[in-house]
Every structure is written in structure tokens, then in C-alpha cells.
Amino acid sequence: MKAELNLSGRIAILGAGREGLAAFEHIAAKGSDANLVVITESLAGGEKEAGLLAQGVLHVSPFSQAGLGSYDVLVRSPGVSAYRNCLVAAASAGARIVTPSSIWFAGNPDAKTIVITGTKGKSTTAALLAHLLGSAGISVQLAGNIGTPLLACKDQDVDWWVIELSSYQLADLEARPSLGVLLNLATDHLDWHGTEARYHADKLRLAELVSPDGLVANRSDARLRTALADHAEVTWFDGAHGAQAVRMPPSLPGRHNRANLAACLAVTRKLGLDDAAVLPGLDGFKGLPHRLRSVGFVNGIEFVDDSISTAPIATVAALESFSSRKVILLVGGYERGIDWLPYAEDIAKHPPAALIALPDNGPRIIRVLENAGIKPELGSVEAENLADAVEIAGKLAPDGSVVLLSPGAPSFPRFKNYEDRGHQFAKICSELGPREQNFPDA
């Protein structure tokens, strides 16, 4: 995308989440002659939404009935699938479809950017890389999918931008990142992408977009090795010839976090930084909420919040992190049709002592794992809701064990988001009884 991106005429922003609202404010602030509206299919009830409704610029309507083909430009929020029939039809009718990320890259062509993606670990890796660069004296801005939308960031004269992007944002991104980091490639978000092949292709677009010699990838991931076999320039990490993490802080448990740190070291070395200038910053990194975060102990049982786990690969990594202890696993959430059978072999290497199925797809996950030969010693139970699951887990769990919320599935519609699910888990745990440690998120 070129810097002279034309945002004029009739413009509709699709979606009123963080990205959509940031795009509205950005475009409105430009003072162009654009006829600008926001279209959302449902309201979250926030103050900004209320303000836009009062101004008459927020419309609530199914996208399929909103006449999208009559607009000159459609700004697609990440949560809106690029493959929806109404968007495809609008593009055929002449509407140009862009994304907030593409708008930002067009307006910042000289910014030095590091884009990070992967099925698992992208938020932790982005936060850790930004922290390590900052600790080494480099000015950095962390943005994207991890928290602050790119268009909501104030213009800053920083050395590097560390940007986490999801497959939703990469699918039709127009950009030329300085560096791109591919952490791993599993299966996720089939409801958005339609097929596993398309999900993989959308993730792998980063390899096509990144500047020459700017791709960093995980050699230990078999899918990435195959997909990038013919790529001319790849800086590999976590393989026989790549950067390997040798020292981990307590806030980053598990082998998967070693790979995340190895990715960071591969990037910092490409930027010319010596490990001695970077690694001291590890001690100050606290980790991110809802990612293998201990929320407290009750009667000798530890309760761990891994609510960020929305795919099977994340649950596998969580079980591996507690391989030396008995784990009561709470699994399940929104049904996206992902097949858990390919993950059964890895789960069997670190099998849970008990499985507790959360609605909606928890019972199906348990059936798949049991049919694959995974028979938890303390049994499998179907819970009515999260509170019921925690109560059951507390009764099943032996002293010294871990009750692990690592659902491997999205939180909606039963929770607002994974953060809400994690907060509710901590609150429920805090009400179980006498505890030896506080529950900070409750």
C-alpha cells in the first residue's frame, strides 16, 4: 500500500470494537470530506458507541442488509471475516476494502516495524520483545492485536514498533514490515477463515509481505519448515542452527516460552544487539495476565488461569508446563469445529489426572480424547458452567495438584472475552474457602 491512500467518498467502518472505533477517530480527525459512518451488527454498550449513536453515525444492522456495495471504501475490523459473502459482493460492486492496520502502514511508510504472529504465543513474544528492547535502551512502541490498536497510538518518534497481528489482520494486509516473526502454525479460527488451508495461507502471508532477509521463523515447527522450504531468506530460531533460549524467568514457564524467548533473541541479534545487553532485562518481565498465571492456592491446591488458551495447541503447551504435577484440566468453550484428534498424541505425553468439560464443546473434546486412549485416572466430568467446574475440580484435586483453566476454545458467548473468563475464574476460586495465597485478579 502506498502512503497516498485515498480515504474519501462514502466510507463505512465495519465493526464497533477497539479497532473500528480507532479507525473512525483516525479518519474523522483527518478532516476530509468523507461521508463517514460505522456499521455494527451488535452493540457492546460502551460510552463511545452511545456517543456515535447520538451523532447518528453508528448504524446497527446485519452487514448483509446494510447496502455495503453502495460505499466507496469499507474499513474491515479484524473480527469481521474477509470471506463473508456480503464483503465479496461489495468488492465486486466496486467498494474498496481496507483494514485499520493497512491504513496505519500506509501512513507510516518509514516506520521500522517488527510484526509477530503465530497460532500460539504471539502476545507473550511481542510483549517480551518490546520489554527486552526497552531494557537495552531502544525506544519502542508495542501495539496491534495485543492491546493498543495501531491507529490509536499517538505519533511517536520511536526506534522500533513491535506489532502483534492475528490471522484476521494478516489475511488482506497491505504492508511491508521491516521484520516478520512466525512462531508456529497449527489450526484455529476455522469459523472465520472457512478452512484450515486458508487459515494457514493467511498466517503465511507475513512471509510474502516482509522485506527481503526480514523473515524470522521457528525451525522446530514442522509446518513452518515445510511451508518455508523454498523461501530464499529465513533466520531460523529454536533449531540446530538458530537462536536457543538458555535462561528463563519464573514468569515464563514451559518449553513453549523457551521458543518465544528464542524468537526474541533471533530478532535482537538481527538488530545487532549482543545477548549480554538483552538478557538482563528478563528479570523485570512479569508475564501477561491469563497466560499460565497462578491465581492462588486453596487447601494445598494451586489454581492456574490460562484463559488466553483458545486453541488446542495452547492447551498442549499448558499441560507440558505442569508435567511434574497432577493436573485437573478445565477444557472447552465456543464450538468452532476444530478437530482435537491430531493433538491427542501430544496430550498423552502429559495426560491430565482429570478432565472437566466446560460448555459448549467440552463434552466433545473429552469424547475425542477418550476415544484416542486418554483415560484420566481421576475420571472425566461434564460441568454445567465455570463455577460448577471449579467446584468439581476442588473436590477431585489431590494435595499438591493444579487446577488448570486452559480451555483450548474461545470464551464467547458465555463471557465477554478471555479476560472476563479469567477474571471470573479467579473470583470463583477465591470463594472456595480458606486460602494460603491471595487471589489478585478476584
Per-domain residue ranges of the chain? 10-98, 108-284, 293-430
From 198-212, 227-241, 371-385, 393-407, the region with the lowest mean pLDDT: 227-241
Query: What pLDDT is recorded for position 255?
Result: 84
The CATH architecture one would assign to domain 108-284 is: 3-Layer(aba) Sandwich (3.40)
State the CATH class of domain 10-98: alpha beta
Residue 408 has pLDDT above 70, yes or no: yes
For the chain, give the percent of residues with pLDDT over 70.
94
Query: What pLDDT is recorded for position 3?
Result: 47
pLDDT classification of 432: cutoffs 50, 70, 90: confident
Q: What is the 3-state secondary structure (H, E, C) of the chain?
A: CCCCCCCCCEEEEECCCHHHHHHHHHHHHCCCCCEEEEEECCCCCCHHHHHHHHHCCEEECCHHHCCHHHCCEEEECCCCCCCCHHHHHHHHCCCEEECHHHHHHHHCCCCCEEEEECCCCHHHHHHHHHHHHHHCCCCEEEEECCCCCHHHCCCCCCCEEEEECCHHHHCCCCCCCCEEEECCCCCCCHHHHCCHHHHHHHHHHHHHHCCCCCEEEECCCHHHHHHCCCCCCCEEECCCCCECCCCCCCCCCCHHHHHHHHHHHHHHHHCCCCHHHHHHHHHHCCCCCCCCEEEEEECCEEEEECCCCCCHHHHHHHHHHCCCCCEEEEECCCCCCCCCHHHHHHHHHCCCCEEEECCCCHHHHHHHHHHCCCCCCCCEEECCCHHHHHHHHHHHCCCCCEEEECCCCCCCCCCCCHHHHHHHHHHHHHCCCCECCCCCCC
Residue 46 has pLDDT above 90, yes or no: no
Query: What pLDDT is recorded for position 436?
Result: 56
The 10s digit of each residue's pLDDT in 107-129 is 999 999 999 999 999 999 999 99
Q: Cell digits for 180?
A: 516478520
Across the range 90-110, mean pLDDT stands at: 96
Whether 433 contacts 298, CB under 8 Å: yes
The 10s digit of each residue's pLDDT in 183-202 is 999 888 888 899 999 999 99
Across the range 354-365, mean pLDDT stands at: 98
Q: 293-430 in CATH: which number?
A: 3.90.190.20
pLDDT classification of 44: cutoffs 50, 70, 90: confident
Q: How many CB atoms lie within 10 A of CB 257?
A: 23
**If you search the block for the grid coordinates 478452512, which residue do you land on?**
195
pLDDT classification of 232: cutoffs 50, 70, 90: confident
pLDDT classification of 246: cutoffs 50, 70, 90: low
The 10s digit of each residue's pLDDT in 258-282 is 899 999 999 999 999 999 999 999 9
Query: What pLDDT is recorded for position 1?
Result: 40
The Cα–Cα gap between 278 and 247 comes to 12
* Whole-prediction pTM: 0.88
The Cα–Cα gap between 368 and 375 comes to 11
**If you search the block for the grid coordinates 453502495, which residue do you land on?**
70
Residue 28 has pLDDT above 60, yes or no: yes
Residue 439 has pLDDT above 70, yes or no: no
CA-based max dimension of the chain = 67
Output the CA torsion sign for 197, 198, 200, 204.
Answer: positive
Equal CATH topology for 10-98 and 293-430: no
From 133-142, 145-154, 341-350, 405-414, the region with the lowest mean pLDDT: 145-154
